């Protein structure tokens, strides 16, 4: 009898399930796709003589955006859990420098990569434990670690850049390619694919959503709320460390200024991509598109011949418009 | 924990001389109560009488200073709330404790999600269909198991919270003011759900300020005043007036 009820319910639920999904689909989630298409069209027309719509330029955009995309994936998890991570930009510099110094002193790529990722995970763990044990909001904790880690990066090599001559490292994390596809593109794709799977299809992802949505409900349902918060901050640190490796590999060297301005770009990318700033829902794929929007804007404004200061103003205006559009639904 | 004991013989829940102190303050003293499977027992008393403390002790949030808890005749000790849940005790809260932006089925399975395959992928299809079957069976009228909670009315949300408790509670459901935020029709629906739970053999401990509701659904009524147990009455053999005078202190406590 139970099984029959079960089957009936199933038969009844299948067709409306699709309708439900369409109805529940969040319009602001899709604003970013329309916006992305619009920007592409505008740039394709206005910049048609500057080589905007050429394959090398488009690949270049995706490569340039790779570190932002990787960090955006981590930040989607952090924001969804109702926290924020402002320390990512400084982790980029420290992890790149650690990798550079390890390669210079020990010439071992596994050691360099492991050390760099350990730096990212370590900063994330520190952030997470401070947020959950000392109960300081992540905004303040990660603001403090932002300065702390940036300072460490400066002290570490006494403001000196570290060149990286390890060819295999530079190939794997920067200029190389596999099966004709740039490794930077592959790293972005991998980060987005893994991030999307974890976010949408694992128990951990479900717990991240629940914690950001209603932490008390999650706790009384047996979700280890503190552990989830520590985990998302560790993941964010790891993503920032990987971004640092990607910068180091692409530039064949590391310096303390790497990633300095990335934190705001990543936050903008994630929000423009249709993620909530206050937790409980989000989209990894949207964050990828948001980060591509940032990359295309950057590229188009440079090709358009705007000066650096004009670029900053234009980018600010466009981000404001995009964020206003994506957040408009929020109040409803 | 043995499950072979016949449930009709031993009470689903037996609280024996529970005492709870916070610092030097006695919140509950010498509280004893049996709830049998298929029974609704209401816990009533004025604000600060110790009702919430009892609920928190049974759900594993607080530990009794002394006294014992037994489920189906076996003495248990709950180090935390998940231990209580592991013994089949579920709580329905006044504020429902639902994640508003998630679908109904994810709330139903929150913390106990079904997974499939080597990658332990969430089995959303199975969770949704089991949820749909459950809400259909309990006649909780929601648009779909895939609807998000914030699309639902207060009554529908309460239906979801009670359905979730029904699904997971093998021994006892604690309801802490479950209808305090609901309208008249929605309260009636929730009370209907409580009766359905009783028919399914669950033991229910209902904390409510609403004496009319208590008289409508409870089999027995336990009265607390300032942490002390005043008495337990069978609903059929007592009156509104007697319960009120027990709550307010006009009537002294029964001889222990």
CA–centroid distance for B5 within its chain:
22
Where in chain A does DSSP place strands (E)?
A: 162-163, 177-178, 181-182, 253-254
**Residue A32's pLDDT is what?**
80
| Alpha carbons B105 and B4: distance in angstroms, whole number | 32
Mean pLDDT of B117-125: 94
**Residue A250's pLDDT is what?**
95
Quick one: which of A118, A133, A142 has its CA closest to A227? A133
| Alpha carbons A58 and A64: distance in angstroms, whole number | 10
**Residue A217's pLDDT is what?**
92
Q: Has residue A18 got a pLDDT over 80?
A: no
- Residue of chain B with shortest Cα separation from A2: B133
- Residue of chain B with shortest Cα separation from A14: B129
Quick one: which of A155, A150, A160, A66 has its CA closest to A104? A160
A242-254: b or e for each residue (b if 16 or more CB lie within 10 Å)? bbbbbbbbbbbbb
- Cβ–Cβ contacts within 10 Å for residue A189, how many? 15
Quick one: which of B27, B19, B10 has its CA closest to B70? B10
Q: Are B144 and A16 an interchain contact pair (Cβ–Cβ within 8 Å)?
A: yes
| Alpha carbons B18 and B205: distance in angstroms, whole number | 16
Residue scoring higher pLDDT (B118 or A12): B118
Average pLDDT, chain A: 89
Q: Give contacts of B137 with chain A, Cβ < 8 Å.
A: 5
Residue B254 falls within a domain, yes or no? Answer: no
Residue B49 falls within a domain, yes or no? Answer: yes
Residue B56 falls within a domain, yes or no? Answer: yes
Q: Give contacts of A217 with chain B, Cβ < 8 Å.
A: 96-99, 107, 110
* pLDDT tens column, A142-163: 999 999 999 999 999 999 999 9
**Residue B255's pLDDT is what?**
65
**Residue A8's pLDDT is what?**
44
Q: For position B78, which CATH number holds?
A: 3.40.50.300
Residue B1 falls within a domain, yes or no? Answer: no
**Residue A17's pLDDT is what?**
56
- What ranges in B39-151 are assigned the alpha helix state H? 51-58, 81-86, 104-108, 124-137
- Residue of chain A with shortest Cα separation from B119: A202
Q: Give contacts of A20 with chain B, Cβ < 8 Å.
A: 143-144, 146-147
Facing B146 at nearest CB: one of A2, A20, A202: A20
Residue B256 falls within a domain, yes or no? Answer: no
| Structural domains in chain A plus CATH codes | 27-331 (1.10.3470)
Q: Please provide the DSSP assignment of A236-289 as one string.
A: HHHHHHHHHHHHHHHHTEE-TTTTTTHHHHHHHHHHHTT--SSSS---HHHHHH
Contact at 8 Å (CB) between A120 and A244? Answer: yes
| Alpha carbons A37 and B254: distance in angstroms, whole number | 77
**A40 pLDDT band (50/70/90 cuts)?**
very high
- Residue of chain A with shortest Cα separation from B137: A5
Q: Are B91 and A281 an interchain contact pair (Cβ–Cβ within 8 Å)?
A: no
**A70 pLDDT band (50/70/90 cuts)?**
very high
**A24 pLDDT band (50/70/90 cuts)?**
low
CA–centroid distance for B140 within its chain:
18
Least Cα separation, residue A322 to chain B (angstroms): 23
∠ CA(B19), CA(B25), CA(B26), 5° rounding? Answer: 25
Structure tokens at A270: 């994630």
ipTM of the shown complex: 0.84
Q: Has residue B239 got a pLDDT over 70?
A: yes
Total structural domains within chain B: 1
Residue scoring higher pLDDT (B143 or B81): B143
Length of chain B measured in residues: 256
Q: Are A213 and B137 an interchain contact pair (Cβ–Cβ within 8 Å)?
A: no
Average pLDDT, chain B: 89
Using DSSP, state whether B230 is helix, strand or coil: strand
Range of the domain at B20: 13-198+209-248
Facing B102 at nearest CB: one of A6, A213, A222: A213
Residue B168 falls within a domain, yes or no? Answer: yes
Q: Are A202 and B93 an interchain contact pair (Cβ–Cβ within 8 Å)?
A: no
Facing A220 at nearest CB: one of B81, B119, B120: B81
CA distance from start to end of chain B: 31
**A86 pLDDT band (50/70/90 cuts)?**
very high
Least Cα separation, residue A32 to chain B (angstroms): 20
* pLDDT tens column, B49-76: 888 899 999 999 899 999 999 999 899 9
| Alpha carbons B222 and B230: distance in angstroms, whole number | 8
Q: Has residue A25 got a pLDDT over 70?
A: no
**Residue B184's pLDDT is what?**
87
Q: Give contacts of B167 with chain A, Cβ < 8 Å.
A: none
| Alpha carbons A81 and A214: distance in angstroms, whole number | 9
Residue B203 falls within a domain, yes or no? Answer: no
CA–centroid distance for A51 within its chain:
28
**Residue B2's pLDDT is what?**
42
Mutate to test the interface with B, among A29, A208, A220 (most CBs of B within 10 A): A220
Contact at 8 Å (CB) between B7 and B202? Answer: no
CA–centroid distance for B52 within its chain:
11
Quick one: which of A279, A251, A264, A272 has its CA closest to A319? A272
Give how far Cα A13 sits from Cα of A23, B107, B158, B249, Å: 15, 18, 22, 54
Structure tokens at B207: 């904390």
**Residue A130's pLDDT is what?**
96
| Alpha carbons B49 and B27: distance in angstroms, whole number | 8
Residue B8 falls within a domain, yes or no? Answer: no
Mean pLDDT of B175-202: 88
Q: pTM of the full predicted structure?
A: 0.87
**Residue B238's pLDDT is what?**
92
Percent of chain A with pLDDT over 70: 89
* pLDDT tens column, A204-241: 999 999 999 999 999 988 899 999 999 999 999 999 99
Structure tokens at A123: 């900063």
């Amino acid at each position: 009898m139970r099984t029959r009820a079960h089957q009936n319910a199933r038969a009844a639920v299948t067709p409306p399930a699709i309708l439900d999904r369409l109805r529940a689909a969040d319009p602001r989630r899709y604003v970013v796709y329309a916006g992305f298409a619009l920007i592409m069209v505008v740039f394709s027309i206005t910049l048609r003589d500057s080589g905007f719509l050429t394959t090398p330029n488009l690949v270049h955009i995706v490569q340039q955006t790779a570190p932002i995309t990787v960090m955006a994936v981590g930040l989607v998890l952090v924001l969804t859990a109702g926290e924020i991570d402002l320390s990512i930009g400084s982790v980029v510099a420290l992890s790149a420098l650690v990798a550079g110094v390890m390669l210079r002193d020990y010439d071992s790529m596994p050691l360099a990569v492991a050390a760099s990722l350990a730096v990212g995970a370590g900063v994330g763990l520190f952030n997470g434990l401070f947020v959950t044990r000392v109960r300081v909001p992540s905004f303040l904790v990660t603001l403090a670690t932002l300065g702390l880690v940036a300072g460490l990066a400066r002290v570490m090599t006494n403001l000196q850049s570290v060149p990286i001559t390890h060819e295999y490292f530079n190939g794997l994390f920067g200029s190389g390619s596999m099966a004709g596809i740039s490794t930077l593109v592959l790293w972005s794709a991998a980060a987005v694919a893994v991030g999307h799977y974890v976010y949408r299809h694992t128990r951990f992802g479900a717990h991240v959503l629940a914690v950001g949505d209603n932490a008390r409900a999650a706790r009384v349902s047996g979700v280890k709320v503190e552990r989830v918060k520590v985990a998302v901050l560790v993941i964010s640190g790891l993503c920032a460390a990987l971004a640092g490796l990607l910068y180091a590999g692409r530039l064949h060297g590391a310096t303390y200024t790497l990633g300095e301005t990335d934190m705001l770009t990543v936050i903008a990318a994630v929000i423009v991509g249709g993620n909530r700033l206050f937790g409980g829902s989000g989209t990894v794929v949207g964050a990828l598109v948001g980060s591509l929007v940032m990359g295309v804007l950057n590229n188009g404004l440079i090709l358009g011949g705007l000066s650096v200061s004009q670029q900053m103003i234009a980018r600010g205006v466009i981000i404001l418009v995009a964020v206003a559009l994506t957040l408009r639904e929020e109040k409803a | 924990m043995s499950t072979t004991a016949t449930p009709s013989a031993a009470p689903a829940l037996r609280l024996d001389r529970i005492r709870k102190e916070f610092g030097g303050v006695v919140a509950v003293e010498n509280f004893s109560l049996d709830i049998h499977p298929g029974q609704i027992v209401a816990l009533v008393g004025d604000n600060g009488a110790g009702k919430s403390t009892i609920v928190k002790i049974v759900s594993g949030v607080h530990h009794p200073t002394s006294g014992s808890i037994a489920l189906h005749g076996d003495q248990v000790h709950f180090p935390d709330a998940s231990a209580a849940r592991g013994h089949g005790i579920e709580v329905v809260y006044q504020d429902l404790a639902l994640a508003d932006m998630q679908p109904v089925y994810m709330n139903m399975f929150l913390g106990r999600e079904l997974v499939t395959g080597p990658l332990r992928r969430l089995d959303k299809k199975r969770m949704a269909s089991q949820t749909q079957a459950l809400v259909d069976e309990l006649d909780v009228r929601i648009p779909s198991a895939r609807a998000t909670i914030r699309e639902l009315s207060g009554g529908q949300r309460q239906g979801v919270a009670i359905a979730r408790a029904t699904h997971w509670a093998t021994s006892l459901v604690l309801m802490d003011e479950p209808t305090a935020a609901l309208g008249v029709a929605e309260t009636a629906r929730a009370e209907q759900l409580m009766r359905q739970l009783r028919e399914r053999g669950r033991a229910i401990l209902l904390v409510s300020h609403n004496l009319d509701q208590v008289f409508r659904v409870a089999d027995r009524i336990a009265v607390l005043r300032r942490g002390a147990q005043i008495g337990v009455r069978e609903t059929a053999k007592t009156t509104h007036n007697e319960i009120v005078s027990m709550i307010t202190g006009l009537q002294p406590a029964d001889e222990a």
